[in-house]
Amino acid sequence: MKRSLPLIIVSILLLSSCTANESVFKSTVPVSQPPPLEERVVKPPVEALPKEINFNVPFFVQAPDTDWSLPWQEACEEAAITLAYHYASGKAVDKEQFKNELLGLIDWENEHFGDYKHTNITQTAEMLKGYFKFADFRILDNPSAEDIKRELAQGHIIVAPFAGRELKNPFYKGEGPLYHMMVLRGYDEKNFITNDVGTKRGENFIYPYERIMNAMHEWNDTDINLGAKRVIILAKNG
């Protein structure tokens, strides 16, 4: 028993360290409510924006049963757009429904695109319209951090694509995904707040503004870092 005591202490310390490290990446901004429709301004000045926003977007990891084999390891686009859709439409979703919708989207993509992997922003937006029958969205090219904050301040939610390894998320497996997509759900004074479907720790996950903007690239067949900076903006009605 005496010999095992140091090992027990080390294990407790390591567990505590992991928990503390995870908390560093979590937003503490309280959940926000979108402004009423009649109070939304098309392009509010930066100085008039709230200092922080954090919308209550549902979260499930893209591998809902923790199975990271195909198709789940390639399901970030489907997962991000599904979470954003349910927030924007005000429709609740549970894990089983989320899983079935991802599989339904994959079938829809295979039928309409010939494949489900690495969809660009235009294709991902088509999934919203074609599969979910949701049309209250638009694509924004070359957004700045201020543009994204303005959209969030209006109660909108954002789906954005990334060169995944440039995000430098310590909880990704290995180097992380070459291509990734996730939901931007809010911001604070230094960070964007995300639902990062690429890790089970991804709910309320923060990334510095600069890292998000530098890593933002949609799929490019030659080099992901040559991919355009584009996002999908979903309007929340009500």
**Which residue segment(s) compose the domain that 66 sits in?**
53-234
pLDDT at 27 over 60: yes
161 within a domain of the structure (yes/no): yes
45 domain residue, yes or no: no
Structure tokens at 135: 């049309």
Does residue 140 lie within any of the structural domains? yes
Instruction: Answer yes or no: is 47 within a domain.
Output: no
Residue 46 lies in a domain: no
How many folded domains does the chain comprise?
Answer: 1
pTM greater than 0.95: no
Instruction: Please check the confidence at residue 14 and state whether its pLDDT lies above 60.
Output: no
Higher-pLDDT residue of 223, 47: 223
Average pLDDT over residues 204-225: 98
pLDDT level of residue 13 (50, 70, 90 thresholds): very low
Alpha helices in the chain (DSSP H): 5-24, 76-89, 95-112, 121-130, 145-153, 209-215
Is 11 inside any structural domain? no
Angle between helices 121-130 and 95-112 (to 10 degrees): 110
Q: With the CA atoms of 109, 110, 114 and 118 taken in that order, what torsion angle do they form, in degrees rounded to the nearest 10? A: 50
Instruction: Answer whether residue 13 is part of any domain.
Output: no
- For the cut 70, the answer to whether the pLDDT of residue 19 exceeds it is no
Which alpha helices (H) appear in 42-159, and where do they start and end?
A: 76-89, 95-112, 121-130, 145-153
Band the pLDDT of 25: cuts 50, 70, 90. very high
Average pLDDT, rounded, for the chain: 91
Residue 98, domain CATH:
3.90.70.10
Question: Is residue 15 in some structural domain?
Answer: no
Confidence check: pLDDT of 113 > 80: yes
